[in-house]
């Protein structure tokens, strides 16, 4: 019985770990952009002071704000990134970087939070019954998922930041 439960837990955790590993291995940087050859669809009325984007850390979720007045246009959720690709769609390089960042953000957030859930489940198995071996194993798998997610998650925020920088770079001063 314990062996069967252990195999089921391993079968459930293995795809999450494999997805996390694939996302690490597929971290291909975006190609460099020559600003002089960059084509944009930004309106001429949209200058740096009114349309520039920035990340604003707050006590809760981080915000994406636009312009000098700080109009909020998006938030970084626990599992879901903002639709930054739509905000920077006028600059193709920024939009491509934003799409890649959104995919990475979702994957790393899912890995991080799945690991957290496995740690809690492992803790409950360890103290709730005589299946402490299974609980410990599940807990360690969860810790591994949390470590992978916490290492990769800041990289996805860096990618979001780069897409904002690419967008801001194309704005007229």
Mind giving me the DSSP string for 7-35? HHHHHHHHHHHHHHHHHHHT-PPPPP--G
Is residue 126 pLDDT above 70, yes or no?
yes
Q: What is the mean pLDDT of residues 126-148?
A: 84
Tokens 């739509």, residue located: 86
Q: Is 80 helix (H, G, I), strand (E, B) or coil?
A: coil
Tell me if 165 is assigned to some domain. yes
pLDDT of residue 25: 46
Averaged pLDDT, 51-74: 87
Does 22 fall in a domain?
A: no
Residue 27 lies in a domain: no
pLDDT(3) > 60: no
Sheet strands (E) in 18-127 = 53-56, 63-66, 71-75
39-43, 68-72, 121-125: range with lowest mean pLDDT: 39-43
Give the span between the Cα atoms of 72 and 163, in whole angstroms.
17
Say which residue, 80 or 151, is predicted with more confidence: 151
Can you tell me the mean pLDDT for 104-109?
A: 90
Average pLDDT over residues 82-107: 88
The secondary structure of residue 72, as a DSSP letter, is E
For residue 162, being part of any structural domain is answered with yes
**Number of domains the chain is built from:** 1
Instruction: Report residue 59's pLDDT band, with 50, 70 and 90 as the boundaries.
Output: confident
pLDDT band at 37 (very low <50, low <70, confident <90, very high): very low
Whether 46 is covered by a domain: the verdict is no
Domain hosting 86: range is 82-170
SS3 content of the chain, % helix, strand, coil (to 5): 65, 10, 25
pTM of this structure? 0.67
80: pLDDT strictly greater than 80: no
């Amino acid at each position: 019985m314990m062996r069967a439960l252990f195999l089921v837990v391993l079968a459930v955790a293995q795809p999450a770990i494999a997805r996390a590993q694939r996302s690490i291995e597929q971290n291909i940087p975006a190609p460099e952009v020559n600003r002089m050859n960059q084509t944009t669809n930004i309106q001429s009325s949209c200058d740096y002071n009114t349309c520039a984007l920035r990340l604003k850390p707050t006590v809760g979720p981080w915000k994406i704000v636009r312009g000098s007045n700080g109009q909020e246009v998006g938030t970084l959720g626990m599992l879901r990134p903002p639709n930054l690709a739509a905000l920077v769609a006028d600059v193709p390089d920024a939009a491509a970087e934003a799409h890649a960042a959104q995919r990475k953000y979702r994957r790393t957030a899912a890995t991080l939070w799945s690991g957290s859930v496995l740690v809690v489940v492992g803790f409950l198995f360890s103290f709730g019954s005589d299946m402490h071996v299974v609980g410990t194993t599940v807990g360690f798998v969860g810790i591994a998922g949390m470590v992978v997610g916490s290492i990769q998650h800041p990289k996805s925020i860096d990618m979001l930041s780069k897409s904002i920088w690419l967008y801001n770079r194309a704005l007229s001063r």
